[in-house]
Amino acid sequence: MSAVVGRSLLRDRAGLALLCLIALSTLVPFVWALSMSLKPEESVFQPGIVPTSSEEVAVVDGREVRVRLLRRLDDGRLRLKIAEPGERRIVDVVDDGSWRRIERVDVRWENYPEAWGAYPFLSFGRAYVNSLVVAGLVTLGQVLTSALAAYAFARLRFPGRDVLFFGYLATMMVPGAVTMIPTFVLLKNLPDGLNWLLGTDYFSRQLVLGGNLLGIDSYFALIMPRCFSAYGTFMLRQYFLGVPRELEEAAYLDGCSSFGVLRHVCLPLAKPALATLAIFTFMWAWGDFFWPLIVTRSDEIKTLPLLLQAFQGSYGARWNLLMAASVMGLLPMLVVFLIGQRHFIEGIKLGAVKG
């Protein structure tokens, strides 16, 4: 008996050690990005997690000054460039041990405000707000439309319900690249079509905040096509099918309509599934790069991933500022996950319990 218990404990400890190793491996990229964002520009690619900077000093003309080693001469002397303010000259000194490199911890918190205001054409804050608005509205739209469609497919009875559901589900097998061009063409022609239909030019106007009212280069194009999800509908439908019929019938006896049953019975019980869908949708919409790249032209409505791409092109080798901007871009996703993690973990527990 004791041998069996010992083997069980050994397996548990091995499993725990494996999980800890996997968790640490997933944290490595985040720690590396945070470390790089706090490093001086000249030491970005130096090994080590702790941000450090190096300084070379040497004794020249009887005084210790900051220098930069250019090369070692064939006769053993060192060719140095003096780096003191107001003094820029090259000297050759004997390698008597007076030249040395000093390493010290150098955390550059100023990289973050510098990265915030570094983009030359559009403020970092505007792109941040754009991403928050777009990701928030896309998440709200997907949760709302998926909940309504899932309830209809799970609880309401109407002709062709199952055929319609499987047809809607079949759209998941169509790659996004296939529907991207037709969606782009529809959005491009939408303002002209509405203007022709209603005899006005209202839908071709530009917004004061930037971009157009409808069509390409608009908040509408960034948000509306992504407010519908076959995956979210399928996931919530499977969850609604697990809600006991007795609760639904009791709600009908209390005078609730179908919408009342959805609001007061199904949605409160489906909080774990709703939180899971909201977290996944927000993370996907926040980090989406390709669709905003296609449908936006104005700098005023560009999202954060587009700004980071342009930031890299503008600053080239200034990786510490790029990493600082990327770390600031991670914060909303962490906040959303921390807010919804309780319901998210609860959903995982409920899915693991049978019977």
For residue 181, CA distances in Å to 5, 102, 223 come to 61, 57, 16
Is the per-residue pLDDT at 6 higher than 70? no
Helices 124-155 and 319-352: crossing angle in degrees, nearest 10, is 20
Cα torsion angle, 70, 72, 74, 76, sign: positive
Is the per-residue pLDDT at 352 higher than 50? no
In the chain, CATH 2.30.30 covers 52-105
Q: What is the mean pLDDT of the chain?
A: 81
In 10 A of CB 81, how many CB atoms?
14
Q: State residue 203's pLDDT score.
A: 82
Reported as a pLDDT band with limits 50, 70 and 90, residue 351 is: very low
pLDDT tens digit sequence for 25-68: 888 888 888 888 888 877 777 777 778 777 777 777 777 777 77
Question: DSSP secondary-structure letter at 205?
Answer: P
pLDDT tens digit sequence for 237-277: 888 888 888 888 788 887 888 888 888 888 888 888 888 88
Tokens matching residue 279: 């977290």
Q: State residue 51's pLDDT score.
A: 80
In the chain, CATH 1.10.3720.10 covers 114-352
Reported as a pLDDT band with limits 50, 70 and 90, residue 222 is: very high
pLDDT tens digit sequence for 81-131: 777 776 777 777 777 777 777 777 778 888 888 888 766 556 778 888 899
Q: State residue 229's pLDDT score.
A: 87
Strand order from edge to edge, sheet including 90-93: 90-93, 78-82, 63-72, 52-60, 100-105
**291 closest CA partner among 234, 224, 232, 230:** 224
Q: State residue 241's pLDDT score.
A: 86
Tokens matching residue 224: 């509306």
Q: What is the CATH number of domain 114-352?
A: 1.10.3720.10
pLDDT tens digit sequence for 133-153: 999 999 999 999 999 999 999
Exposure of 162 by Cβ count < 10 A (0-12 exposed, 13-18 middle, 19+ buried)? exposed
| Topology of the domain comprising 52-105 | SH3 type barrels. (2.30.30)
Cα atoms in the 13 Å half-sphere on the side-chain side of 74? 0
Among 93-107, 284-298, 327-341, name the one with the lowest average pLDDT: 93-107
